[in-house]
Amino acid sequence: MTGTPVRLDLSSPSRGPRGKPPKHFVDLTPEQRIDAVTELGEKPFRAKQLATHYFTHLTNDPALMTDLPKATRDKLVEGLFPQLLTAHRTQTADKGTTVKTLWHLFDGAKVESVLMRYANRTTLCVSSQAGCGLACSFCATGQLGLTRNLSTAEIVEQVRAAARSLADGEVPGGPTRLSNVVFMGMGEPLANYKSVMETVRRLVAPAPDGLGMSARNVTVSTVGMVPAMDRLAKEGIPVTLALSLHAPDDELRSELVPVNTRWSVDEALDSAHRYFEVTGRRVSIEYALIRDINDHAWRADLLGEKLNARGRGWVHCNPIPLNPTPGSKWTASDPRVEQEFVARLRAHGIPTTIRDTRGSEIDGACGQLAAEEDE
């Protein structure tokens, strides 16, 4: 047996230490899963059977684990698969192809995830924190403050639930696979680095140890936490990195994205460029277009210049019309202004695509996830 022995609190499997979600099979490395299974008095090979059920069949329902004796599966599931997420409400839009789920966590914390089916791909937007501590002024989650980090299993469970629902044909268009995961739900993924990185490992690990997704189809979106971006570059897992810039100048960006006072526009762009150099993955620059705030032609030019100053072909831009949040004094840019902004970036040679605002009418679009209004 290898790895650190895992101590599981079997006396109360549904609760972990105060404030911490209970340990779940998915939190464990493959070696630790073997240890956990043997600590429960079962043969090591049961760990692989459980992993196959979870990651390949996308289930944690003992009734479906028919290759294990009944008593064994009941014991293993009770000990290793505490229920972490409870779907409290789902809302759909776009003829059922956008599905937002409000999850209640074990301690009453709430997060949302949004599933979006397109013609050629299906994307899940996951939350990595309950709330967020970064207080971006235009973002609904930012107004909540941070409740807590999610555990690896709490994030992976959002993904498994979505993949299961797609496999079951619950989303119109017939059964399909989940192709993309974006960390663009609630929270700042790089502020919960360890759990997010472990989640990424579970997503890309080949079956049966993980979901076998392609790293390029996993997008980690950040406000620009430079040391964590540099660390991510060195992980050897070339996920797509998205940098939420929203302004090319420090004066405005510090107002929109307060963490800019810690890591400036230039520092964030330098780090994003290093990410490209190390991983070969083209970085996305996110830019919510806010009417008369950051949508000026000169800002498009300044952005184009700053990106080109660092090289060519390393970046593409994703402007997104602002999704107004409740009570916000801001609104989306005029479509003509938006077109001009895009044209200017393209004139600088920057590949630019407007991001869609799927789910905005169910408050399921970028920056709208709040999950506080309950009933």
Q: Which of the following is catalytic: 112, 154, 188, 286?
A: 112
17-25, 40-48, 104-112, 322-330 -> range binding ligand SAH (CB under 6 A): 322-330
Q: Which residues contact 270 (CB under 8 A, 6 or more apart)?
A: 310
By beta carbon distance, the residue nearest ligand SAH is 367
Looking at the Cβ atoms of 122 and 244, the one nearer to ligand SAH is: 244
The binder of ligand SAH chosen from 323, 341, 364, 370 (CB under 6 A)? 323
Annotation says 198 is catalytic: no
Q: What is the dihedral of CA 24, 168, 91, 212, to 10 degrees?
A: 50
Least distance (Å) between residue 287 CB and ligand SAH: 8
Annotation says 136 is catalytic: no
- Residue 179 is encoded by which pair of tokens? 């192709």
Which 337-366 positions form the footprint of ligand SAH (CB under 6 A)?
A: 366
Asked if 286 touches ligand SAH (CB under 6 A), the answer is: yes
Judge contact between 66 and 57, C-beta under 8 A: no
Least distance (Å) between residue 312 CB and ligand SAH: 23
Looking at the Cβ atoms of 60 and 318, the one nearer to ligand SAH is: 318
Site string for ligand SAH, 110-149 (x = CB under 6 A): --------------------------x-xx----------
Give the interface size with ligand SAH as a residue count (CB under 6 A). 17
Q: CA–CA separation, 268 vs 179, rounded Å?
A: 28
Judge contact between 284 and 219, C-beta under 8 A: yes
Site string for ligand SAH, 35-54 (x = CB under 6 A): --------------------
Which 179-238 positions form the footprint of ligand SAH (CB under 6 A)?
A: 184, 188, 221-223
Q: Which of the following is catalytic: 132, 136, 139, 366?
A: 366
58-66, 205-213, 261-269, 321-329 -> range binding ligand SAH (CB under 6 A): 321-329
Least distance (Å) between residue 187 CB and ligand SAH: 6
- Residues forming the active site: 112, 366
Q: Which residues would be at the binding site for ligand SAH (CB under 6 A)?
A: 136, 138-139, 184, 188, 221-223, 244, 286, 288, 320, 322-323, 325, 366-367
